[in-house]
Chains A and B, each alone.
Chain A
Amino acid sequence: MMKKIITIIILLIAGITNAQLVVDDFKTGTINKKTYTTGSGIVSTQKGNGIVKGIRSINAKIRQNPNDHGMELSIKNGLLTMSYGYDTRGTTFVNYGVDKNGENMPMNLNLKDYKTLKVEFEAKSTINGININMFTGNRYAAYGDHVRAREGKFVKEIPLKDLRPTHKDFTLSDIDYIRFQFDSRSKTGCNMAINKIWFE
């Protein structure tokens, strides 16, 4: 009996330790299709119960589009899909901690018990950047890296200890707003799809 209780306690502790906080599984808050060709696109918001705090905003800034191939974006079937055409250079911004108008609405997330932010890609055509900003109020921490190209699923792991705070008042105990940036900055453009973002 005691052995069973100990096993259950161990499993319970393991479960808590490995608990996930899903930021977005892209199964809700669908976008049928958006095409971005120039400048900063209009910010749109989507609601869904698979999104942290129930709402996200999204937009893209196109810096260069010499062949008028632009970028196509959709969110459906559990995938955020982006096709940046040949020599289209720009950034997609995905934001959490917003209201229906895209304005800041603090999430007050306590992330101090989580170790890693994970972004699962379904596939990715070329090496390009990912940038993440997390805010406590208007104080933020930043992370940036290149994400490899790969045919097939892979997870980009971002240790939360690698976030670089820009002010002493930034704290993982109170995250109000998170911004993800997915870049296309190479001649080849970049095609990619993301199926989940979560803390673990």
Chain B
Amino acid sequence: MKTIFLGISLFVSFIAHGQIVLDDFSTGPMSQKKHSTIAESKLTQSGSNILNNQRDILVKIKKNDDKQLILSKIEKGRMVISMGYNITGAIELRYGYDRTKPLNLNLSKYKSLNIEYEAKSNFGRVYTSMFSNGPNRAFWRGGGNRTLFEGKERGFTLKIPLVELQKAQDNKNTNAFTIKDVDHIKIQFLAQNKRGLNFTIKNIYFE
């Protein structure tokens, strides 16, 4: 009997801690891309280990006085980004943005969105937004905790608690965002200071 209880408790524990992998970067490779002009460029990849099989990447450069490069590539389970000195810009990952194939995720049983880094050079904010049924949006911007966004030489996981998502109210206050039906997700990695931003990500998942 004891063994059965132990088995059940392990099973329940497994379900409670199950994961939904958004992207482990093992599929949908991207050859090296170089950007330096003030513009917004969209790149799309498909792969079986990407949720709904499609990832869109937006490379946004708003300011680049020193004409440095943003270099980006995805290979062997890693997305490697180098945003050079004094670039103000962002890398934005988008999932479920094919409007004909919404994610329809029920995330009510999950606690956090996790972003696993191999390393990160310096301070750089991460923003995420999730959408339900069109424009109904909830967002996370760190809740004023700057230390979340510091650089680290060693691997670490940025945990974004789903309870910290804030609904973005529209003019009619009719935002119908629900964590039980998330159709598309975007994650932004921002370089906003003189130091640029270099980082590598290995996995993004809900847990």
Residues of A within 8 A of B (CB): 33, 67-69, 72, 74, 76-77, 79, 81-83, 85-88, 122-126, 149, 151-152, 186-193
State which of A69, A74, A188, A192 has its C-beta within 8 Å of the C-beta of B151.
Answer: A188
Chain B interface main SS type: loop
Which residues in B have their C-beta under 8 angstroms from that of A88? 82
Whether B198 lies near A125 (C-beta < 8 A) is yes
Number of interface residues of B (CB under 8 A): 30
Closest residue of A by beta carbon distance from B121: A188
Nearest first, the 4 closest Cβ-Cβ pairs linking A and B are A85-B82, A83-B84, A188-B121, A123-B194
Contact check, B81 vs A86: say whether CB atoms are below 8 A apart: yes
Q: How far is the CA of A33 from the CA of B64 in the complex (A)?
A: 14
Partner of A68, one of B32, B65, B197, B200: B32
Are A86 and B85 neighbours in the complex by a CB distance under 8 Å?
no
| Contact yes or no, B71 A151, CB < 8 A | no
In angstroms, Cα B82 to Cα A193, docked, is 16
Interface residue B19 (Cβ < 8 Å from any Cβ of A): no
B58 close to A (CB within 8 Å): no
Considering the complex, give the chain A residue whose CB is closest to the CB of B84: A83
Q: Are A81 and B68 interface neighbours, CB within 8 A? A: yes
Residue on B nearest A153 in the bound complex, by CB: B194
Nearest chain A CB to B152's CB is how many angstroms away? Answer: 8
In the complex, how many angstroms separate the beta carbon of A34 from the nearest chain B beta carbon? Answer: 12
Question: In the assembled complex, which residues on chain B have CB atoms less than 8 Å from the CB atom of A69?
Answer: 71, 80, 82, 198
Residue of A nearest to B75 (CB): A67
Q: Chain A residues near B118 (CB, 8 Å)?
A: 187
Is the beta-carbon distance between B82 and A149 smaller than 8 angstroms?
Answer: no
**CB neighbors of A among B49-90 (8 A):** 65-69, 71, 73, 80-82, 84-86
